Structure 1
Amino acid sequence: MRVLVTGATGFVGRHLVPLLLDAGHDVVVFVRDAARYDGPPGADVVEGDIFEPATLDPAMAGVDAAYYLIHSMHAGGDFEARDRLAARNFVDAAESAGVGRIVYLGGLGEDRDRLSAHLRSRREVEHILASGAPALTTLRAAIIVGAGSASFEMVRQLATRLPVMVTPQWVETRCQPIAIADVVAYLAGVLDHPETAGETYEIGGPDVFTYREMLQRVGAQLGHAPRIVPVPVLTPRLSSYWIGLVTDVDTGVARPLIEGLKNPVVVGDDRIRDIVEVEETPFDAAVERALREERGTRENAAEPEPEPTTPT
């Protein structure tokens, strides 16, 4: 199957592309700068910009299924408007090219819970992608645990830097985190099941925690579980500024993520487990793997360049 991956340089895309190649798919990656793409060999690289519709046409040529893994929080400003435009350009191009399926990774959260701007935008993108001719498969996930995940990085830095935390009431919100390995296993797996076309599924790991419990468990693996003191006066918006003071997570990313923490994000429909077989990763194991990969990345970055040798 010829498969297009947008967002191939992002956190999820970097893990998905090698898995698709290993499964025998013909993979096309759509990136803004082909010269800087350092993904695995074997993928066809097409350069373009999601906001320039004409550049999507070469990427969509001959594609059977297309993954949409783009969101605009890192761009700052009105990310909702940018997400809306990007999704419209994508679905129009896919429809014109005769693409059969789109696969989208959205966010967990019940519409009745007055979703945050971030989750509301993810849901709007979902509706836009479903409006075209290609059949849409949506997978909805909560916090994805892995090295490079913005939401997990925020949790890790809080657990690392604050022995005592004064936090808003969202620390008692329930969440069902999922390991990045499990996310991409589901994303790749739906291609093998035509019955998933046109369907929406919720995916999560085997554990459900409050954010307080997650912070404490991550802290325990770092050797110092923080003491957490929730206070009712620290609103999600104020706490987003607090995040900016105590972590180096970009405020433009942290703010919409923090404002979404008031919404419970727990799987209510686990039908996907009966369709795509995934050996679910326990939260503690996922955290251990993520921390190990982060340490490896830091150590590699700190290694000095080898001294040049003189030929003899």
Structure 2
Amino acid sequence: MIVITGPTGNIGRHLLPLLLESAPAAGEELRVVVRDPARLPDAVREHVEVVIGSHGDAGTVDRAFEGANAVFWLVPPDASLSPEDAYCGFTRPAAKALAAHGVGHVVGVSALGRGTPVADRAGLVTASLAMDDLIAGTGVAYRALANPSFFENLLEEADSIREKGVFTDTVDADRKTPLVAVADIAAVAAGLLLDRSWSGTDGVPVLGPQDLSPNDLARVMTKQFGRPVRYERQTLDDLHTTLVGYGLNETFVRGIVDMKRAKDDGLDTGVARTPDTASPSTFEQWCARTLRPAVLS
């Protein structure tokens, strides 16, 4: 039995079809934890067991992990909490349930940065790494998917790109860093969940095929959209003011700002890209498939 949390989110909606395609041949049953089962496609609900509730709730994870061999663990973003509560606080009931039910393997969504000089002051990433330690401390075999920023973050900029030809971030315009498509993360997760010949605790970097700067992204988008697109760098103070203005928890906002600062200080560049850490989807491919329709719709 494989349990999937966050099955309707950015990564989960790519992961679930991969598991549905391959799990039956491997003799695996699937169970999903979801607040609203109506968000699952009809074809999915017919082939999975559904546990309704939040996977941050002790009763829900106790039901979900009973008889489970493996769990895909993803913490949903909750900007009403502090980073520690959003990651470790949310995960503590699951950690207890993993140990209580003797779950053997867990694959979790985490972040790059462990071992870098800025890892202990990287806001949300620091909290994510602490979550990894919490899960590993239960004694399960654990693989933390160590991810950089996602291509999909640019979807939040679709309106600005369409209307102004501008996207923003806080990093230097020429700083090249790894970026990844969520579909590639899902593919790595599926492989680990279906082939559980691994043991112990480790991180699994998923780095995309190449490092890219904001100016590189702008050049690709300009070509793809047939119109100029440029990058504007936002100050960390302006980011803080904007996010607080949206009503986000002040401590969570500070976690975002600290993460952004750490990324500009090299948080995501501590792992070398190799055939094992590279993933296949290029920004050009993702842009044509996903961002271009969103911008030009």
Asked whether the two chains share a fold, i.e. TM above 0.5, the reply is yes
Q: 1:194 aligns with which of 184, 192, 197?
A: 197
The residue number in structure 2 matching 1:61 is 66
The answer to whether the Cα contact below 8 Å between 2:141 and 2:199 also exists between their aligned partners in 1 is no
Corresponding position: 1:268 with 2:251: no
Shift of 1:66: 0.3
Q: Which runs of 5+ in 2 are unaligned?
A: none
Distance 2:29 2:293 in 1: 28
Shift of 1:96: 0.6
Shift of 1:104: 0.6
The residue number in structure 2 matching 1:226 is 229
The answer to whether the Cα contact below 8 Å between 1:171 and 1:212 also exists between their aligned partners in 2 is yes
TM normalised by structure 1 equals 0.77
Shift of 1:219: 4.2
Q: RCO higher in 1 or 2 (8 Å CA, sep ≥ 6)? A: 2
The residue number in structure 1 matching 2:140 is 134
Q: Are residues 193 and 94 of structure 1, via their aligned partners in 2, closer, same or farther at CA, if it must alter by over 3 Å?
A: closer
Shift of 1:92: 1.0
Distance 1:211 1:258 in 2: 18
In the TM superposition, 1:146-295 aligns within 5 A as 149=152, 151-163=153-165, 168-191=170-193, 192-195=195-198, 197-228=200-231, 230=233, 235-241=235-241, 252=248, 257=256, 259-262=258-261, 263=263, 264=266, 265-266=268-269, 268-270=271-273, 273=276, 280-291=280-291, 294=294
Corresponding position: 1:72 with 2:77: yes
Shift of 1:288: 1.3
Shift of 1:162: 3.3
Distance 1:79 1:267 in 2: 23
| Structure possessing the higher radius of gyration over alpha carbons | 1
Q: Are residues 167 and 108 of structure 1, via their aligned partners in 2, closer, same or farther at CA, if it must alter by over 3 Å?
A: closer
Q: Secondary structure at the match of 1:273?
A: coil
Tell me the C-alpha RMSD between the 2 structures: 3.2
Corresponding position: 1:143 with 2:149: yes
Shift of 1:212: 2.9
| Cα displacement string for residues 97-132 of structure 1 (whole angstroms, at most 9, x for unaligned residues) | 110011011112254125431211211111111110
The answer to whether the Cα contact below 8 Å between 2:123 and 2:257 also exists between their aligned partners in 1 is no
The residue number in structure 1 matching 2:4 is 5
Count how many residue pairs are aligned between Structure 1 and Structure 2.
281
Amino acid at match of 2:189: L
Shift of 1:84: 1.3
The residue number in structure 1 matching 2:34 is 31
Amino acid at match of 1:237: D
Q: Secondary structure at the match of 1:140?
A: strand
Shift of 1:133: 1.8
Shift of 1:261: 3.2
In the TM superposition, 1:36-51 aligns within 5 A as 36-38=39-41, 40=44, 41-51=46-56
Q: Are residues 58 and 65 of structure 1, via their aligned partners in 2, closer, same or farther at CA, if it must alter by over 3 Å?
A: same
Corresponding position: 1:94 with 2:109: no
Distance 1:138 1:47 in 2: 25
Shift of 1:258: 5.9
The residue number in structure 2 matching 1:303 is none
The residue number in structure 2 matching 1:103 is 107
Q: Secondary structure at the match of 2:110?
A: strand
Shift of 1:82: 2.9
Amino acid at match of 2:107: V
